[in-house]
Structure 1
């Protein structure tokens, strides 16, 4: 058995995964990151021990522990270099866990390990090369080539969300302007929708949120877009435009067999997928040559745990 840990800004999820990458049991607890890294790590250790105990197996049967973190980790040392959602800098996560649990620990970016899960048993299963793009609060990426994640020499590869694709009306959290995630994340979609409303454009979104712009979310925007709302469709079309630019750049550099879209916005399903497929086909380079498939990811919230466990396989 293998343990997978999905460490997020809101929750810590821990699961037991068998050698066939099937999630057998899992549980979670709030992260409460404001307490600092030492307290969060104590909770990770506690939750791992509880998960093993509750499932009824001996600790010795766990071959490895994998952890997906919402930031950058050095792949060999397992040190979390930078993680803005947790407020972590240079945290020796692998070292601390191995000292307490006496089990090998592997650490990588959360979107990267989710991509590995999609490669193992999801929509990218057994492909020669695949790229997973998560469209959530931010935009993350996971690149898998010949069954191995590509994190880069220093662990900062696959940062698809910080590819520059244009000039935007607000800066990215990283401090630069024009990052893909400022155009194609749920945050970006909401920000642009609010901008359009503040400029006086009429929209059913105001009614759906009872006049509170703070209540706007991706689900409401896509719901309004499907109903033909002008503002919602303008916001969605802008997201699609820049996502297609990002995907085209990925195709030009990697030429993957499959590109899988995951994260909260992928819940819009075929409504989003078809728009993206059509826009990529419109703007892509060398149209005489076929490109890989653009599809929806299939594992949902389980991808983080399964992919983290797969690091140890």
Structure 2
């Protein structure tokens, strides 16, 4: 018996065939048409799901359930996607539409929650009771696992870990507020600060690494320049780690999790990011000297985490 995990992304629908114990054995993706209305798009997802099952040489009786990771807020009990960011879903009854195509149970959750669950099942958080996973990308996504289960709060919308203010009157955030964690700890944030440093310091190695073309600056540019000894890039990275550290300290003070995982492109820096981050957190986290320290590690599954987590909902 198998499960199907679906990760609805901004450009693609990713499908995975997952064993009953959470092992991903096949994955495919299809382009998504965001110009469609929510009903048409949901029907397309259902039709593509059937195609994927057939392509796996399986039928409905072989599938335990289908799980969907959504970039927004869901009501899993009712099978409704309440709303999504940059997608057409609004109060969309996904379960009802899927039932017109198949008789397989459908579950859903926020995509960051699915990624967090995936890491618990077969990733870096496996074996831990309480964990947080934060994804540092265009924004900052987050998933909270308490007692092995996704924590969604009273209305299904808990876990917006990127939208707590750490600097009043700070940089504008995508949510409309200023000074959010996302505005200082996302890949977008470090790219912004790297560009500022490149403009302010034309002699910086940052400019050499991108041949003077600021559009080539990405999330790793400042880290690469810091490795080469550039003082301006070093300040950018150190400031970034400070803000990320403050965010993690806040999470620890609230949840005291066993482990916090960092995902997204920035996490590819590995120990070069983690070592100074751990030092900062261990220095300032409340009670850190007297309590069991929260582990800080990189997520292990990458983009597969969301598929696995969705399948195991």
TM-score (norm 1): 0.94
The unaligned stretches of length 5 or more in structure 1 are: none
Cα shift at 1:31: 1.9
The unaligned stretches of length 5 or more in structure 2 are: none
Instruction: Supply the distance in 2 between the matched residues of 1:199 and 1:87 (Cα, whole angstroms).
Output: 41
Cα shift at 1:168: 5.8
Match of 1:298 in 2: 300
Range moving further from structure 2, 99-108 or 48-57: 99-108
Range moving further from structure 2, 282-291 or 112-121: 282-291
Range moving further from structure 2, 209-218 or 271-280: 209-218
Match of 1:180 in 2: 181
Cα shift at 1:58: 1.4
Match of 1:307 in 2: 309
Match of 2:66 in 1: 65
Aligned to 1:43, the other structure's residue is in SS state helix
Match of 1:75 in 2: 76
Instruction: Supply the distance in 1 between the matched residues of 2:171 and 2:294 (Cα, whole angstroms).
Output: 32
Match of 1:114 in 2: 115
Instruction: Supply the distance in 1 between the matched residues of 2:165 and 2:79 (Cα, whole angstroms).
Output: 28
Instruction: Supply the distance in 2 between the matched residues of 1:228 and 1:79 (Cα, whole angstroms).
Output: 51
Match of 1:133 in 2: 134
Cα shift at 1:249: 1.0
Distance 1:230 1:78, change over 3 A: farther
Instruction: Supply the distance in 2 between the matched residues of 1:195 and 1:88 (Cα, whole angstroms).
Output: 37
Distance 1:172 1:261, change over 3 A: same
Aligned to 2:35, the other structure's residue is in SS state helix
Tell me if the contact between 2:194 and 2:221 (Cα under 8 Å) persists in the aligned partners: no
Which residue of the other structure, out of 283, 289, 292, is the alignment partner of 2:291?
A: 289
Distance 1:89 1:253, change over 3 A: same
Q: Is the helix fraction higher in 1 or 2?
A: 1
Distance 1:30 1:291, change over 3 A: same
Instruction: Supply the distance in 2 between the matched residues of 1:303 and 1:137 (Cα, whole angstroms).
Output: 18
Q: Which runs of structure 2 are paired with 1:268-287 in the superposition (5 Å)?
A: 268-286=269-287, 287=289
Instruction: Supply the distance in 1 between the matched residues of 2:203 and 2:96 (Cα, whole angstroms).
Output: 55
- Matched pairs, number: 311
Tell me if the contact between 1:12 and 1:31 (Cα under 8 Å) persists in the aligned partners: yes
Match of 1:257 in 2: 258
Match of 1:31 in 2: 32
Cα shift at 1:169: 4.5
Aligned to 1:300, the other structure's residue is in SS state coil
Cα shift at 1:135: 1.1
Instruction: Supply the distance in 2 between the matched residues of 1:41 and 1:202 (Cα, whole angstroms).
Output: 52
Instruction: Supply the distance in 1 between the matched residues of 2:87 and 2:191 (Cα, whole angstroms).
Output: 23
Cα shift at 1:224: 1.9
CA deviation map 1:89-128 (0-9, x unaligned): 3333333223333221111111111110111111111212
The Cα RMSD (Å) is 1.7
